[in-house]
Structure 1
């Protein structure tokens, strides 16, 4: 029986592993601030703030001509299509790679687990910009290279997440089917996948949101869409048109985020 006057535990204990972990992370953060050449005082100075204010003022008002708005809408659709198709291809490839990268039950030898996870690590360790720059050499400028770049990088991300979801699926239904003599394919289709499909879809929708932002950045290296328009008008110091492109990016991100949240709510009903 606990005593009512018992004192709370100390904030730090030499035997507490979590305490040492938190202390190590805090020390790493402090060392990061000390090692980086941060000019916080200069950033907050009146001269710096005035310069940033003058730069932002050059964006107003945005270009709202009908011809330019039509070009911006076409580029926004191109960016949306790149992100959607790239995410769809990545979800399919990620699932195919997640199956050999996951140990589905305790008795699973999973001989291909190491090589499959090494491939997933390689795919996601290369940034989308590097994939796009490489693919543009072979496929040329345009959204095709950007779509493939998104698909390759996202395949590595989704494949790892899908593999973790498959490994963490409740083992009961799969074990029951295996005791009845069901094969590995039937166990996967009728026991494991139905339990993790909502989680896989949630991961895919989240990565689609991220790929909208990534697709706009890929346009900077010539992969088409809003990013290519942004680079073109910004390099010519056409700030009013640049403001319109930035607004289109914001609207596109908000619409995709809203659609993704609505799909998540529908899936969890």
Structure 2
């Protein structure tokens, strides 16, 4: 008894690795060429970096960090600097979240047919805010705000406003339009549509973005003190400049501990919000 021929398999052969019509292939090839050109153009002295002399110098440098300074007076000073850094990051992020949401509304198209005439200029403002790094913002603001945490807080707020504003605008535009359309069909205005339809849908995402940026701002705030913006960074720059490496080790340990605690707390909060 003859069996019927087997049917064609329900799968297709994988596409070719490279195709002239594949835009992603050309993009990947250009990216690889850029990386190769970067290695070729930069003076990367790998041999010197991995030499025995470099390893010995690095070993002597690391040995100077031990033992860390754990005197009570210095630990109190580090605790004050850590609190200042934490406060800078929290306040800067809170200001940025409020300003980012205020700018995200004109930077987004709220519904189909919305003219959104302010969308392009507002997005240009957000691009300008986030294109300037926090360190540059701090260096500029030191002229008007003076030395200390005020300049660092404003620097974090300006840069983070640009980041959160763009993320918030994308979240608002990608929100499901059904609830808002239903309210508009009953004559509800745009403000109440946003408050009762759009905002409840995107609020967990906005909170997640804000918490994630707070994680980043903790690290940024610790570095901003290098230019005189207060916090642990200012202590770090001072004691490193005096080559007091045991005190530097204590400050670095405090930075690592603070960032780890905040990262864990923020990660848990973001998971809870997005359930």
* Range into which the TM-score falls when normalised by the shorter chain: over 0.9
CA distance in 1, matches of 2:12, 2:109: 46
Gaps of 5+ in 1: none
Match for residue 267 of structure 2 among 242, 254, 261? 261
Q: How many angstroms does 1:4 deviate by?
A: 6.9
For residues 9-61 of structure 1, what are the alpha-carbon distances to aligned partners after superposition, in whole Å with 9 as ceiling and x for unaligned? 32112222222221121111111111111111211111111111111111011
Taking a change above 3 Å as real, the CA distance of residues 180 and 4 of structure 1, as seen in their structure-2 partners, is closer
| TM-score, structure 1 normalization | 0.96
Where 2:43 maps in the other structure, the secondary structure is: coil
CA distance in 2, matches of 1:138, 1:7: 64
Match in the other structure for 1:149: 155
Taking a change above 3 Å as real, the CA distance of residues 2 and 79 of structure 1, as seen in their structure-2 partners, is farther
CA distance in 1, matches of 2:216, 2:31: 27
Q: How many angstroms does 1:6 deviate by?
A: 6.1
CA distance in 2, matches of 1:255, 1:173: 39
Match for residue 60 of structure 2 among 34, 54, 59? 54
Residue 241 in structure 1 maps to residue 257 in structure 2 = no
Alignment of 1:1-269 (within 5 A): 2-3=8-9, 7-269=13-275
Q: How many angstroms does 1:185 deviate by?
A: 0.6
Match in the other structure for 2:4: none
Single out whichever of 205-214 and 16-25 deviates more from structure 2: 16-25
Single out whichever of 4-13 and 139-148 deviates more from structure 2: 4-13
For residues 133-176 of structure 1, what are the alpha-carbon distances to aligned partners after superposition, in whole Å with 9 as ceiling and x for unaligned? 22221121111111111101110110011111111111111111
For residues 179-202 of structure 1, what are the alpha-carbon distances to aligned partners after superposition, in whole Å with 9 as ceiling and x for unaligned? 121110111111111111111111
CA distance in 2, matches of 1:66, 1:179: 67
8 Å contact kept, 2:205–2:274? no
For residues 72-100 of structure 1, what are the alpha-carbon distances to aligned partners after superposition, in whole Å with 9 as ceiling and x for unaligned? 00100000000000000000000000000
Taking a change above 3 Å as real, the CA distance of residues 219 and 6 of structure 1, as seen in their structure-2 partners, is closer
Where 1:101 maps in the other structure, the secondary structure is: coil
Q: How many angstroms does 1:265 deviate by?
A: 2.3
For residues 210-236 of structure 1, what are the alpha-carbon distances to aligned partners after superposition, in whole Å with 9 as ceiling and x for unaligned? 101110111011111100000000000
Alpha-carbon RMSD across the aligned residues, in angstroms, is 1.4
Q: How many angstroms does 1:5 deviate by?
A: 9.2
Taking a change above 3 Å as real, the CA distance of residues 30 and 182 of structure 1, as seen in their structure-2 partners, is same
